Structure 1
Amino acid sequence: MQFYYGPQMPLRILDEAEFWKHQEEEHTVVIREILPNLEKKYVDALKEWENALATTHQKVVQFIEAVSRSGNYIPAALHQEVMMLTEFCLKQSLDFIALCQQIKENSKAVQDNPVAVTVLNHIIRESEYFIGIARALLSA
């Protein structure tokens, strides 16, 4: 991610968060689809994650609208809220990765499906990409 967005940087990170939260939400479906015999506890967990990620995605969209309406000046309080939302999104992605790792390591359905391992690794890498972007912004 480039850092030349200046005062529009909060909008840039929100754009990334909007995209990646939607991706993670879709990934919960992908995992369930490629593993039709996935254990119920993981299916239930993925459905809960799908709802949680959809809620976060919607919250990010609301913040995009608020930042867009603020024009060239983003109030300090709104900027701080964006940073807190970014921290939340980062932690949520870390927790989502932990679930994916747990499924990959402990599910019999995954052990019987080598394609699923590849897909889970890909999903994990994509969430790690967002985490890298979020960390870079938060440390800047």
Structure 2
Amino acid sequence: MQYYYGNQMPLRVLDEAEFWKHQEEEHTVVIRELVPNLEQQYVQDLKEWEKEFAKTHQRVVRYIETVNRSNGQVSQKLYQDILQLVSYCLEQSDQFINFCRKLMEESEPISSNPTAKVVLNHIIVESEYFIGVAQTILYQSKI
């Protein structure tokens, strides 16, 4: 986490969301590349996840730009919008974790590939880390 924001909590949490949404987007590619014989439905699902993470990432970037342009004067409305976006990001990560667990349970090429299972577990841990960091920042700032 980049702590140079001081008391600018909106930027801190947006910075985390920006980084992790990009990571999760890349993770969809990693899974597809690691398991070239993955069932077609899961390949399509991962491509959809990739698109959704890219959209969320871009939304976060727009909010970062808005906060930066506000010269430290974040309105209550903007603050509430940031809260909603972060809540969405957390829920999206939680759903992705569930999808990854489903992959490990239901996909034959993954269940027979020990490396894929290790990587998927690592991806799950990283998404869980984002959820924990974002929740901590939000709770500390009493948002």
What is the TM-score with the length of structure 1 in the denominator? 0.94
**Cα distance in 2 for residues equivalent to 1:134 and 1:53:** 17
Q: CA offsets per residue over residues 77-124 of structure 1, 9 Å max, x none?
A: 101111110000000000000110000111100112100000000000
State whether residues 3 and 9 of structure 1, in contact with CA within 8 Å, keep that contact through their aligned partners in structure 2. Answer: no
The answer for the alignment partner of 2:35 in structure 1 is 35
Given residue 50 of structure 1, which amino acid in structure 2 is its aligned partner? E
The answer for the alignment partner of 2:97 in structure 1 is 97
Given residue 19 of structure 2, which amino acid in structure 1 is its aligned partner? F
C-alpha deviation, 1:3, in angstroms: 8.3
Counting matched residue pairs gives 140
C-alpha deviation, 1:135, in angstroms: 1.4
- The RMSD of aligned alpha carbons is 1.6
- Structure 2, gaps ≥5 residues long: none
Percent sequence identity over aligned pairs: 59
C-alpha deviation, 1:139, in angstroms: 2.5
Q: CA offsets per residue over residues 34-78 of structure 1, 9 Å max, x none?
A: 000001111111000000000000000000000000012111110
**Cα distance in 1 for residues equivalent to 2:114 and 2:129:** 23
1:25 aligns with 2:25: yes
- Structure 1, gaps ≥5 residues long: none
**Cα distance in 2 for residues equivalent to 1:105 and 1:29:** 19
The answer for the alignment partner of 1:132 in structure 2 is 132
C-alpha deviation, 1:5, in angstroms: 4.8
**Cα distance in 2 for residues equivalent to 1:85 and 1:95:** 15
**Cα distance in 1 for residues equivalent to 2:83 and 2:72:** 18
The answer for the alignment partner of 2:46 in structure 1 is 46
**Cα distance in 1 for residues equivalent to 2:4 and 2:19:** 20
Partner of 2:8, secondary structure, is helix
**Cα distance in 2 for residues equivalent to 1:57 and 1:26:** 11
State whether residues 17 and 89 of structure 2, in contact with CA within 8 Å, keep that contact through their aligned partners in structure 1. Answer: yes
**Cα distance in 2 for residues equivalent to 1:80 and 1:27:** 29
